[in-house]
Chains A and B, each alone.
Chain A
Amino acid sequence: MSATATPAPAPAAPPPVETMTVKVNGKTLQVPKTMPDWQGKPQPTTMLQAARFAGVDIPHYCYHDKLPVAGNCRMCLVEFGTPMMGPDRKPVLNEDGSPKIAKSVLPYEPGTPRGAIACASPISPGMEIYADSPATKQMREAVLESLLINHPLDCPICDQAGECKLQEYSVQHGQAGSKFVEAKVHKPKEVDLGPRIVLDDERCVLCTRCIRFTKDIAGDDALGIVNRGSYNTIAAWQEGKFDNNYTLNTVDLCPVGALTSKDFRFKMRVWFLKETKSVCTSCGTGCSITIGSREGVIHRYEPRENDAVNGPWMCDEGRLNYKWVGRADRLKDVLVRGQKSDWTTATREISAKLAAAPAGSVAIIASARQTTEELFLLKKLATKLGALTDSIAREGEGDKLLVNADKNPNSNGARLTGIAFTEFGFSLPKIADGIAKGTIRTLIVFGEDVTKHGLGADLLAKLDTLIVSEILPNATTAAATYVLPGAAHAEKRGTFVNVKGRLQKFMKAVEAPGDARAEWEFLHELVFNVTGQNGFVSIEGLFNQMAKEVPAFAGLEWAKVGDTGVNVPI
């Protein structure tokens, strides 16, 4: 912003948050009177939320921030007390003048503490929550014992082991032995709930998170509890019919090993997985994800909570769209005129050709699946070469929850860097025309099969030079003079700008195969060789340089873009 510009008006002070005083584990603190519920509407703050302000995590199974409260697992039972009232409706005071606290007890047995479920009990002024008192501990032990009565205790073969709340709480709050000597109730095992989900009813603690999710979030009221008492069982109306595009979220939600992903189960122990923060590339929403990989192989995607983009959810389609990264036919070699070559040779030849190319004789088609940094570098080349540039639209079906109709993860990156206009494909006919007329002699293609988009093999054959960077082989790479093997998003760092203008960065989870390299690495060499511009040998430096040159990214710095990203004007 220039010094003469009118300073932006100071943001209006947010309305003061009404608070009340409560005590958690002896610590007095002020907490807001209301907190957003699962739909974001203000509701009276609960004991569980108040405890979080004190840094105390009350154990729970059925409660979830983004689901309606059910209050059925009883794991969050805590002992509590409220200020005592005299018959005159005035607080009863201790000798030192502090309010006397009446601990909640059973009305018919005043010696026994009566807990409240912290997830559904609102706080009141002066309330004291005893989250680690002996009575609270006893309640937790009893609840865990009850939950484990019919549990098969098959952790060694259970996929949830290592990220199981039943395991964790048993260690933290449970007791070593079980007093239960009767025969366990047996329930259905390996229930085929849907095409992507397997259910083990014996492991289930009946928290109903899956039922609430599919009914209230996914809008597919497909699951329920059938039978009665200790035979209670999660079920779908017909086996195999739990099939919406969000079913795998129930696997994340399931606090135990009851719901497992057919894709992931029995593949990998979760404690071996390296977790990398990344972004889903399956559509323009760009859900924040965590990539779980081990020894260079990706085993799963999981949604990473980001309220600015996807909340805690992601769609099944995006979640399972990772297998192409490890495909055997990935491009692994640098090819020069069909022969295996190396980066030094290819970079030198391409640089020389581009440097000698007359203005306007080069065109660039770059996919909106490339990172913003790569598109920025390509735009630099284009500016120097006077090249026409464009990107390719990828339209599909969207839905009301997360899936966007734009199947490119970085359409706005392509627009903001100037690679494409608002409407993708605007310059494609001009490029085709230029090639046909012989004015365009060199075509640079990044991440698209242009033979499917109006530039057929006959047109490509008219070019002097076709430079293609790709991840998987296609008809365009087959026709290329130079094939530069690129890296999947999971194999490099960079940023995408989603359909709503959320810029998110993603990290590298696995190595690219063979000689394949992150595109920005060799692009910055090319840009240096052709334009003489330098200063972006690292992704941090490149991003910061881009932020200086692209108005939409003004003021951004790689290090300051958090895990959930930032909004940029689109």
Chain B
Amino acid sequence: MSFAVSAQLEARLDELTTHYPVKRSASLMFLHALQEEFGHISPEAVEWTAKKLGLQPINVYELVTFYPMFRQEPLGKTHVKVCRTLSCALAGSASIRDHFCKKLGLDPHAHTPQTTPDGKFTVEFVECLAACGTAPVVLVNENLHEQVTTAKADAILAGGK
């Protein structure tokens, strides 16, 4: 897939750059916007950002690898984020994630986000989703699921198929 930034997005980013005293400061906003647009940050996106901001690609790549919210691989259509911070961990979020992984044929011991080969699901642990009262919680794309059980998990998976 070739990398092409729409004129509209480019104009928005150009305007955004003017908000900062130095161009370089806009790096993170560029990366957020590009990830929103393309789903992940490809090497082309890194190079494009570097070129726009007068940087070297390594300067941008440092940021991409530092922040866990930036993805270098395309995500699945349904993005399952299982909270693993204290309340959820105590309420059994680990077994919920294991359940997701097993159902989808993913490795429950892997540390990094995993995507099914058909590109439909991505499962990963995240830190606190700020719904500790209803632990364990799972964020599926933009929807929060509370007090998730294996049955609810199955329903989530069924919804994403």
Contact = CB atoms under 8 A, between A and B. Distances in A.
Contacts of A226: 61-62, 65-66
A221 interface: yes
Interface string A207-249: 0000000000000011111111000000111100000000000
B66 A227 contact: yes
Contacts, number: 30
A228 B56 contact: no
A221 B65 contact: no
B66 A222 contact: no
A228 B65 contact: yes
B65 A237 contact: no
Interface string B110-139: 000000000000000000000000000000
A221 B66 contact: no
B56 A237 contact: yes
B57 interface: yes
A238 B50 CA distance: 14
A221 B58 CA distance: 8
Interface in B31-61: 46, 55-59, 61
A225 B62 contact: yes
A221 B62 contact: no
Determine the interface band of chain A, counting residues with CB < 8 A from chain B.
10 to 19
A404 B37 CA distance: 49
Contacts of B66: 226-228
A268 to B, nearest CB: 32
Contact of A222 (B46, B55, B58, B62): B58
A237 to B, nearest CB: 4
Contacts of B55: 221
B56 to A, nearest CB: 4
Name the residue in A226, A235, A237 with the highest tally of chain B Cβ atoms < 10 Å from its Cβ: A237
Contacts of A222: 56, 58
A222 B57 CA distance: 8
A224 B58 CA distance: 6
A480 B139 CA distance: 86
Contacts of B57: 237-238
B58 A227 contact: no
A211 B56 CA distance: 13
Interface in A332-375: none
A336 B50 CA distance: 65
A3 to B, nearest CB: 63
A210 to B, nearest CB: 12
Name the residue in B46, B58, B62, B65 with the highest tally of chain A Cβ atoms < 10 Å from its Cβ: B58
B65 A227 contact: yes
A223 B61 CA distance: 10
Nearest to B62: A224
Contacts of B68: 228
A237 B57 CA distance: 6
Contacts of A223: 58
Contacts of A224: 58-59, 61-62
A145 to B, nearest CB: 26
Interface in A229-283: 235-238
Nearest to A242: B58
Interface in B59-78: 59, 61-62, 65-66, 68
B65 to A, nearest CB: 4
A237 B61 CA distance: 7
A238 B46 CA distance: 12
Nearest to B47: A237
A227 B62 CA distance: 7
Contacts of B56: 221-222, 237
Contacts of A236: 58
Contacts of A237: 46, 56-58, 61
Contacts of B59: 221, 224
Nearest to B57: A237
Nearest to B50: A237
A228 B68 CA distance: 9
Interface string A497-508: 000000000000
Nearest to A231: B65
A8 to B, nearest CB: 51
B15 to A, nearest CB: 27
A221 B24 CA distance: 14
A394 B56 CA distance: 35
A226 B59 CA distance: 9
Interface in A447-484: none
Contacts of A238: 57
Contacts of B61: 224, 226, 235, 237
A197 to B, nearest CB: 15
A236 B57 CA distance: 9
A224 B62 CA distance: 7
Nearest to A225: B62
A252 B58 CA distance: 22
Contacts of B46: 237
A222 B59 CA distance: 9
A221 B57 CA distance: 9
Contacts of A227: 65-66
B41 to A, nearest CB: 13
A44 to B, nearest CB: 27
B43 to A, nearest CB: 8
A228 to B, nearest CB: 5
A238 to B, nearest CB: 8
Contacts of B62: 224-226
A224 B59 CA distance: 7
Nearest to A220: B56
Interface of B: 46, 55-59, 61-62, 65-66, 68
For the complex of A and B, 6 pairs with smallest distance between CB atoms:
A226-B65, A237-B57, A224-B58, A237-B58, A221-B56, A224-B62
Given A221-B56, A226-B61, 14 more contacts: A221-B58, A224-B58, A224-B59, A224-B61, A226-B65, A226-B66, A227-B65, A227-B66, A228-B65, A235-B61, A236-B58, A237-B46, A237-B61, A238-B57
15 contacts: A221-B55, A221-B56, A221-B58, A223-B58, A224-B58, A224-B62, A225-B62, A227-B65, A227-B66, A228-B65, A228-B66, A228-B68, A235-B61, A237-B57, A237-B58
